[in-house]
Each structure stands twice: as C-alpha cells, then as structure tokens.
Amino acid sequence: MTDNTDLHVGKRLRRRRRLLGMTQQDLAVLVGVRFQQIQKYECGANRITSSRLYELSKALNVSVQYFFDGIEPDGVSGIVANDADRLDGDILSQKETLQLVRAYYRLSERPRRRLLELAKALEVDAKDTGTA
C-alpha cells in the first residue's frame, strides 16, 4: 500500500527530474538502476532507501531535504497544502511551464531580473484591470 510520504517524495523526484529536462532513463543511469525503478519511485509504488535518496539528491543537484519539503514535521497532519503544492498538479507539471523555466535559467542574471520585474508588473496590471 502506498504511503502519503512515498507519494510526496515521488512527486518531488518527478518534478525535479522534469525541471532539469532529464528522462527517467537519464536519471536511472546516473544512480545505477533501471528506468522502471525510477517510474516506481515517482509513483510511490516503491519506497526509496536512504542511500538511494542520497544518490538521487546528488544526481539532481538538490539536498535530501528537498524531497521532504512540504511535509509536516510531526507527521500528524500529513502533507502541507502550500501554494506550490496546490499549483503542482496543474501548472508545474505542464510542458509549457517547464520550457519557460528552462529558458529563464538560460538567461544571464540581468535579463532574468528584468523578465521577473516585467512579469510582476503584468501581474499588477492584470489585478488592476480585474483580469487576474
């Protein structure tokens, strides 16, 4: 039976892998497993051992804590519903969003800053006109 924590960790694994533009096969090669194992991790069907989680964190260039971000520390109330998690199913998993994020990070610092300022200004405009 799949546990909420396993589902959460798998979702975070998939999000990071896709954000980096890696296939399941690419990641599997980096950590020495078959791509089917990555599939099982991502859907929460298989639990990830601590040593494998460490290998995955190194391959994805994140801390081990990344996989647990958004989970209540006491484990009583389960998964925290923060803004990023609410958007994950809709926005963060869309191909267009991933393309936008990748393009953004290919820019140098100054154009990135200017693009972010533009996006914020457009957001304020949309709120002012009531189209947000």
CATH of the domain at 56: 1.10.260.40
Structural domain count, the chain? 2
Q: 90: pLDDT confidence band, cut at 50, 70 and 90?
A: low
Give pTM, 2 decimals: 0.63
Q: What is the pLDDT of residue 76?
A: 41
45 and 78 fall within a common domain? yes
Residue 8 lies in domain: 4-93
Taking phi over 0 as left and psi of -120 to 50 as alpha, with beta for the rest, 46 belongs to beta
User: Do you know the residue count of the chain?
Assistant: 132
pLDDT band for position 84 (cuts 50, 70, 90): very low
Looking up tokens 């803004």, which residue turns up? 83
Alpha-carbon distance of 24 to 60, in angstroms, equals 12
Average pLDDT over residues 40-54: 95
One domain for residues 70 and 99: no
Q: How many CB atoms lie within 10 A of CB 24?
A: 19
Contact yes or no for 93/15 (Cβ under 8 A): yes
Considering the domain architecture, whether residues 43 and 79 belong to the same structural domain is answered as yes
Q: What is the C-alpha separation between 8 and 107, in angstroms, rounded?
A: 31
| Percentage, residues of the chain above pLDDT 90 | 48
Q: Are residues 27 and 61 in the same domain?
A: yes
Q: Is the dihedral of CA 19, 110, 114, 116 positive or negative?
A: positive
- Residue 79 pLDDT: 47
